[in-house]
């Protein structure tokens, strides 16, 4: 199957190099160039053997990038897409086994398939479109993953935990830690998003990830 795999890139070029090594063997791996141009981050075009690159005309929030990935997949009449965090890397076998697991999933009753949470994950675009995509108004960076999972759960779609096929290394929050300006802004945004999330789902008894399926 030729479902796309995405690696969004903002900064941390050294970590992008590691991330790309994890899945560059897959023909449909695409790096999303989401750099802030005024930060002078290296272009992903400098990666050895680089293949597909999708350039953003201006910097996008995480929620906007998620919606772009879903739109791109749907525009090609494909069923799902996978993505990995730019600060995550793993043995290529981990990616291959995850793809095999997703491809053997029958039906369209699932919304998300997780590995190490959403560090490497798959999204069913029919389910995503059914709930209206990611809420980029309330959750541009934080709580967007919680929100989409809750809405999918309410709509009857399953959140699936894939089998453990090897260790995934994740440099948590590297994009924030390496940018003092972003770190300052996001410290405020996290608290605001938490308030909005609790208000939006005040009447919801939300199961944990492990309880979804």
Q: Say what the pTM is.
A: 0.89
118 in helix, strand or coil?
strand
Strands 168-170 and 158-161, sheet pairing: unpaired
Question: In this predicted structure, what is the pLDDT of residue 8?
Answer: 97
Rounded CA-CA distance 98/156 in Å is 23
DSSP 74: H
Rounded CA-CA distance 5/81 in Å is 6
pLDDT tens-digit map of 31-76 = 999 998 887 889 999 998 898 999 999 999 999 999 999 999 999 9
User: Do the beta carbons of residue 5 and residue 29 sit within 8 Å?
Assistant: yes
What are the structural domains of the chain? 5-212 (3.90.550.10)
Mean pLDDT of 123-150: 94
């Amino acid at each position: 199957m030729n479902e796309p795999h995405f690696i969004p890139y903002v900064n941390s070029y050294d970590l992008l190099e590691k991330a790309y090594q994890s899945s560059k063997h897959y023909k449909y791996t695409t790096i999303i160039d989401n750099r802030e141009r005024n930060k002078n981050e290296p272009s992903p075009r400098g990666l050895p053997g680089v293949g597909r690159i999708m350039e953003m005309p201006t910097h996008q929030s995480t929620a906007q990038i998620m919606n772009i990935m879903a739109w791109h997949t749907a525009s090609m009449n494909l069923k799902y897409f996978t993505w990995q965090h730019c600060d995550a890397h793993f043995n290529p076998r981990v990616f291959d086994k995850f793809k095999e697991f997703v491809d053997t999933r029958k039906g369209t009753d699932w919304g998300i398939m997780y590995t190490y949470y959403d560090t490497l994950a798959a999204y069913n675009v029919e389910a995503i479109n059914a709930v209206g995509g990611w809420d980029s108004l309330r959750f541009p960076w934080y709580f967007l993953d919680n929100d989409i999972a809750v809405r999918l759960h309410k709509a009857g779609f399953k959140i699936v935990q894939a089998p453990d096929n090897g260790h995934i290394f994740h440099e948590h929050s590297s994009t924030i830690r390496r940018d003092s300006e972003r770190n300052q802004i996001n410290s405020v945004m996290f608290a605001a998003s938490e308030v909005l999330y609790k208000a939006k789902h005040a009447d919801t008894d939300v199961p944990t990830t492990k309880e979804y399926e």
